Amino acid sequence: MFTSEILEKIRQDDISFQKPQDFGLKPSELVRDEINNAWSLLNTHWQIFKQKRSSFSEIDKGISETRKYWIVPLLNLLGYQVALSNAELVNGKSYAISHRASNKDGFPIHIVGSEQSMDKKAESGPRLSPHSLVQEYINSTEYIYGFVTNGNYFRVLRDATRLSRLSYLEFNLEQMMEEGHYAEFAIFYRLLHASRINDKKEDGKDATLEYYHNEALASGSRIRERLSDAVKGSILSLANGLLAQQENTELRSAFETETLSAKDYYLHILRSVYRILFLLVIEERNLIYKENLTDDKKKLKDIYYKYYSIQRLTFLVNKAIYIDPKKTDLWQSLMTTFRLFEDRYYGKELGIDALSSGIFNRNAIASIESTALNNKDVLNVFKSLVTFENENRHTIRVNYADLDVEEFGSVYEGLLEFEPVVENAEFRFKQGDARSSSGSHYTPEELVKPLIIHSLDHVIADKLKEADPEKAMLSITVCDVACGSGHILLSAARRIGFELARIRSNEDQPTPSVLRIAIRDVIKNCIYGVDLNPLAVELCKVALWLEAHDPGEPLNFLDHHIKNGNAILGLAHYEELQNGIASEAFKALPDDEKTIASAFKKRNDEERKSQMSELFDLNTVNEDFVDVQKSINQFNQMPESTSEQIEKKANAYHDLTNGKKWFRLKQLANLQVAQFFIPKTTENKEKLTTHSKYKTYLNSGTQILDRGASMAIAEHKKFFHWFLEFPEVFQQGGFDCILGNPPFLGGQKLTGNYGTNFLEYLKHTYRPVGAVDLVTYFFRRIFDVIKTNGFQSLISTNTIAQGSAREGGLDVICSSNGVINHAIRSMKWPGQAAVEVSLITIHKGEWKKQFILDNKSVDRITSYLDDSEVMGKPRPLLSNKGKSFQGSIVLGKGFVLTTEEAEKLIEKDPRNKDVLFPYLNGDDLNNDPEQKPSRWVINFFDWDEEKARSYPDCYEIVEKLVKSERQRWKKDNDGNEIIGTYALRKPLPQKWWIYGEKRPALYNAISELDQVMVITRVSKYFVTTFIESSNVFMDKIVVLTFEEKGIFAILQSTIYDCWVWKNTSTIGSNGINFAPNDCFENFAFPKDIENLADLGNAYLLSRKELMLKTQLGLTKIYNLFHSSGISEEINENDKQVKLLRNHLIKIDINTSFEEVIDGIKRLRLLHKLIDEAVIKEYGWTDINLQNDFYDVEYLPEIDRIRYTIHPKARKEILKRLLMLNHQRYKEEVSENSKNIKPNHKKVDNQKKKYNFPKLF
């Protein structure tokens, strides 16, 4: 609620609302004097109260005395007019809040006796504990804050419905008064004075107290932003300090002999830092020892905090002048502290129960535990971790009691960017690709909450109906398949834990202590996670341990629930073992020998075909799997309340997962997947496994001893077989709920980071999906591993509902008993990640509850993330085939020239005109008012090298600038060149003087045309125009082989625009990604277009004139076109209006603002007339288009207003266009079947040449 930084600012009077007038004082009066007076009076009241308290009996809780002699006077001194209150009925429940502040609109203040616990419900009396009573009351009313106190402790509670977790601020009044902590009282006074609360409850959000809360949130963000740098700095200090320390010869020798790798060393260093952070948190939260200690235990606690605590070392940071920097005693002290929590024999002497497992396992930091480190470096490590500069350049100490999983999330993001390197006894980071290759991002809380509400909350509601709700709660299984720092899992654990605590306590608002134990049990029983990055797995465990820590208890054993692996690379279910070896695994890829791959594919095909009628003998496999399930069930019953029990559990799990039966099942599963990754080469022939051999392995029931290559590949690629990793979950059919933010990664990044074989495996396993964003495969895998009536609630790029990603992802899921029950189509990612995302919840099975789309109730949600009728997908039409083309992929910057360079080459030798052409790109189309090519390009067509060399000027340029890039060597995982193996596919290195993709079909198709229609593939708006055909078109351009203005009118109409946005994909907030196969080849044009030609021509000319007059490109013209600030009245505050006025001032043209506005309005009118004319040609004049400005929900959240047709008209038009598409498709299929004639002539496509269009 309030961070230590904010409280410190309040104490130092270094924050707003701390001036005398803010407290209702005169400017000449001092707040400090008021606090002094209050403190003096309060000491008197405390002495009186103490005297009264000494006479309380066990029966008499001292309620009236606590109120009369202590708390009411205290609150009066703070400006509250405290009055007794009657019980209030809210939503049918009674809330007996004892007092109200009559001068603050009845602000709730609940005062109980000093002998009464605020966290326990009285045996008789109110239905809730005092804390829970106030919490539930403010959750149910307009009050944001409330006070609860028993005189010894004073708590400030905040409406928990507005927070991601329960929070409160507590002052120890007894300690404050008995030990004379005036400074703490000053904070109490400055923070909770009556002036901090607004006079009206409905104005609570404007209260000073709420301002401080919001400042605390911002302060937390600042800490998060710098904690990653702090951890990085501490790692560098620690790692290099140890390597440089003279005594650490064994450590340096381990690197020289390669017995210690940089990654292992980094892991040990990182674990040391995690240990420090963990202990700081539990020390500052007072969770080292249990509550209610005996006098002997209190003495041991004092000894620990004075001589062994991490806090002690952090305090020395500011006393470095008194520390000998060359000695190593502080490091030895730190190692001693670590041992207290590693080993029960060390810890018991101080009454400490060892944490034992995980980061506190004895071998967790093996490479550095026997080292030395000088005090200077130790203090530098701690300085990085515990201090930072605020915005005023004041040094602030980080209060680790405030640390939440969000802070660990920031550590996660930062550390993923780096890879460790140790060279010449120096540790450093190099920029790695772990984060980019995983596509990972830390997930903000505001995205997590709706995921839980629309999935896990439904699961919880159903479990509450069972006969034993407590047992039912602990039976819920929740997973995050890319768990990162564990933030989403923790939110889920808190949600289930809250419900479990309510059941156990029989209170609607359970107390923090009850809640903490419940969350620990939930983490132990319900929470699962997977991540490809081992550092993320470590971090996730640390976050879960922190949340679940209970004094006296060891760290939960989590190795069986939080695992390192590739969630989409492996088998989902045990039954898939019967699938055998897929022939697709032997498809020839760039690193394969084609003859070897072909032979193995043929052999595998034959084996599968010949054995189709033969069944797999699963008896031995069944027995093995049943035994594994029994073993895991027995394992899960093992207790883990002591360090000895944790150790036994860890050993048992090791034995289980290394046992013969488990290992054999894993080998069988690995064999299926590994064949996709083993290179098909002569060297590897004996390592490959075909279907027949696999079947022999499966049926034999014996260990598989000769398939080491497959096992090595599985280890390296981190295959993850769900049924085997979490067998207890799959006994129940799968997970109840999978939440998450799966990685986003698409296009060439996918194969670049993971390899072509990885993509081929995905395309086979998740067919019919092709090469799409990584997140699509995650959606499919997750749907595989949730049980019937389970949920997946995920964050995705908004392309998940578009194009081939939709067809291979959501469409397949919805056709397989999946129902989308909640979705947010598009929203901007909070924070720094520049992406537009969708939130999607899917239920497996029939859904009879509400559908929520963009926070509105609808009748259904389709795979397009809209609520239209489900009518199937559009089909490609033969009438549109061969009329759309992508431009040339040049693949080499050396081909591209400036206009000046091209002119000089032509001037030098006019023959160069034969191979030099204007080169049109998307920027030319969208941003140049004249839409002229800004560059030129060298083009050697499909010539052989000898012919290309006959143009020496141009040939030498390409040879110099392109050849070396095309013929670069491939690199291994460590960045070393693999000499002899090209990085690029054949024939790109061999024919380096020819474009990567020449597009002969395009240039043949347009060779007889004077002009063509062109579209920028990625653009904010879908806009088309005409360009002369005598250009080379860049690959970012789509070319349509039309010259008719009637076709132009149709394609520029809102009718086609709606079809495009519906059926193609987007590129985040950058706009549309026009893909002809998704939205052109399937578009049903009206039969007659002649009547549209004049309108199309008028529109084209009007737009061209406007562009030239204003010197604005297409994008900026359409920014004005869609600006609602330009309507009947001009809104001078509109962004586009301001930009236009500034533009007209800057450029020297004879065009007025009014002329431009008239031009925009004319363009809109023509657009409206085109829309109406197109609708007429379709015969759909019953549709009322109502062209106007509308909020278009599928566009990016920050830019949704468009001049377009009414949403109802859009929905009806899309429905009819789809019906027309189906009708035309059916007609074409029927017609085609009649006209099919046998064709025995073999066409040699390799010898087909193409004609380049006329040029000069």
Indicate if the pLDDT at residue 1007 is higher than 60.
yes
Q: How many domains does the chain have?
A: 5
More confident residue, 415 or 205: 205
Judge if 1122 and 1207 occupy the same domain: yes
Boundary (domain end) residue, out of 719, 744, 762: 719
- Tell me the CA end-to-end span of the chain in Å, nearest whole number: 73
3-state secondary structure 518-568: HHHHHHHHCEEEEECCHHHHHHHHHHHHHHHCCCCCCCCCCCCCEEECCCC
Report the range of poorest mean pLDDT among 251-260, 430-439, 934-943: 430-439
Q: Name, in order, each residue with C-beta under 8 angstroms of 1061's C-beta and a sequence gap of 6 or more.
A: 1022, 1072, 1194
Whether the pTM exceeds 0.85: the reply is: no
pLDDT confidence bin for 435, thresholds 50/70/90: very low
Q: What is the mean pLDDT of residues 372-382?
A: 94
pLDDT confidence bin for 1178, thresholds 50/70/90: very high
pLDDT confidence bin for 1009, thresholds 50/70/90: very high
Whether residue 934 lies inside any domain: the answer is: no
Distance CA 450, CA 667 (A): 40
pLDDT, position 1245: 37
How many CA within 13 A on the CB side of residue 535? 26
More confident residue, 442 or 84: 84
Judge if 715 and 755 occupy the same domain: no
The domain spanning residue 841 has which CATH number?
Answer: 3.40.50.150
Q: What is the mean pLDDT of residues 386-400?
A: 71
Q: What is the mean pLDDT of residues 435-450?
A: 69
Structure token pair of residue 1048: 């132009």
More confident residue, 1021 or 976: 1021
The pLDDT tens digits of the residues spanning 565-607 come to: 999 999 999 999 999 999 999 999 988 999 999 999 999 999 9
Residues 646 and 356 sit within 8 Å (Cβ to Cβ): yes
1203: closest CA among 1021, 977, 1043, 967? 1021
The pLDDT tens digits of the residues spanning 307-341 come to: 999 999 998 988 888 899 999 999 999 999 999 99
pLDDT confidence bin for 5, thresholds 50/70/90: confident
Q: In what order do the strands lie in the sheet with 1072-1073?
A: 1018-1019, 1072-1073, 1065-1066
Whether residue 899 lies inside any domain: the answer is: no
Indicate if the pLDDT at residue 84 is higher than 70.
yes
Q: What is the mean pLDDT of residues 211-226?
A: 73
pLDDT confidence bin for 968, thresholds 50/70/90: very high
Q: Which domain holds residue 136?
A: 4-206
Residues 535 and 438 sit within 8 Å (Cβ to Cβ): no
pLDDT, position 202: 82
Beta bridge partners, 1012, equal: 1027
Structure token pair of residue 597: 């791959």
The β-bridge relationship of strands 145-149 and 107-111 is parallel
Judge if 542 and 677 occupy the same domain: no
Output DSSP code: residue 68.
Answer: I
Question: Three-class SS of residue 319?
Answer: helix
Indicate if the pLDDT at residue 362 is higher than 80.
yes
pLDDT confidence bin for 115, thresholds 50/70/90: confident
Burial of 256 (0-12, 13-18, 19+ CB in 10 A): exposed
Judge if 545 and 580 occupy the same domain: no
User: Would you tell me the crossing angle of helices 182-192 and 208-244 to the nearest 10 degrees?
Assistant: 130
Judge if 729 and 715 occupy the same domain: no
pLDDT, position 436: 46
836: closest CA among 809, 801, 791, 864? 801
Judge if 20 and 131 occupy the same domain: yes
Judge if 404 and 451 occupy the same domain: no
How many CA within 13 A on the CB side of residue 722? 29
The pLDDT tens digits of the residues spanning 663-695 come to: 999 999 999 999 999 999 999 999 999 999 999
pLDDT, position 167: 73
Q: Which residues of 657-668 are buried (b: 16+ CB within 10 A; e: fewer)?
A: beeebbbbbbbb
Judge if 230 and 198 occupy the same domain: no
Judge if 158 and 226 occupy the same domain: no
pLDDT, position 407: 62
Number of Cβ within 10 Å of residue 957's Cβ equals 17
Distance CA 530, CA 223 (A): 27
The pLDDT tens digits of the residues spanning 167-194 come to: 789 999 999 999 999 999 999 999 999 9
pLDDT confidence bin for 20, thresholds 50/70/90: very high
Sign of the alpha-carbon dihedral angle for 265, 268, 274, 280: negative
pLDDT, position 100: 96
Distance CA 652, CA 172 (A): 45
Report the range of poorest mean pLDDT among 30-44, 58-72, 903-917: 58-72
More confident residue, 857 or 802: 857
Indicate if the pLDDT at residue 1247 is higher than 60.
no
Structure token pair of residue 65: 């005395």
- How far, in Å, are 479, 538, 617, 740, 898 from residue 722 at the CA level? 12, 20, 22, 17, 55
Whether residue 951 lies inside any domain: the answer is: no
Q: What is the mean pLDDT of residues 64-85?
A: 95
Indicate if the pLDDT at residue 1254 is higher than 50.
no
Output helix, strand, coil percentages for the chain, rounded to the nearest 5.
50, 15, 35
pLDDT, position 285: 85
Whether residue 185 lies inside any domain: the answer is: yes
Region of 1241 on the Ramachandran plot (φ > 0 left; ψ -120 to 50 alpha; else beta): beta
Judge if 138 and 92 occupy the same domain: yes
Q: What is the mean pLDDT of residues 737-746?
A: 89
Judge if 294 and 404 occupy the same domain: yes
Boundary (domain end) residue, out of 821, 847, 868: 868
Q: What is the mean pLDDT of residues 233-254?
A: 94
Judge if 1115 and 1169 occupy the same domain: yes
Whether residue 283 lies inside any domain: the answer is: yes
Q: What is the mean pLDDT of residues 247-255?
A: 95
pLDDT confidence bin for 749, thresholds 50/70/90: low
pLDDT confidence bin for 247, thresholds 50/70/90: very high
Q: What is the mean pLDDT of residues 1035-1043?
A: 94
The pLDDT tens digits of the residues spanning 472-483 come to: 999 999 999 999
Q: Which amino acid is at 563?
A: K
Residues 818 and 788 sit within 8 Å (Cβ to Cβ): no
pLDDT, position 963: 94
Residues 916 and 936 sit within 8 Å (Cβ to Cβ): yes
> Average pLDDT of the chain?
89
Whether residue 1040 lies inside any domain: the answer is: no
- 155 φ, ψ to 5°? -115, 140
- How far, in Å, are 45, 484, 563, 790 from residue 782 at the CA level? 63, 17, 16, 11
- How far, in Å, are 588, 666, 685, 720, 1051 from residue 582 at the CA level? 14, 18, 17, 18, 44
Whether residue 1035 lies inside any domain: the answer is: no
The β-bridge relationship of strands 735-740 and 478-480 is parallel
Q: Which residues of 763-802 are buried (b: 16+ CB within 10 A; e: fewer)?
A: bebbeebebbbbbbbbbbbbbbbbbeebbbbbbbbbbbbb
Distance CA 287, CA 551 (A): 5
Whether residue 953 lies inside any domain: the answer is: no
Question: Three-class SS of residue 853?
Answer: strand
Number of Cβ within 10 Å of residue 54's Cβ equals 7
Residue with the two structure tokens 């693999």: 978
Q: What is the mean pLDDT of residues 446-456?
A: 94
Boundary (domain end) residue, out of 168, 183, 206: 206
Q: Which amino acid is at 1109?
A: K
The length of the chain in residues reads 1256
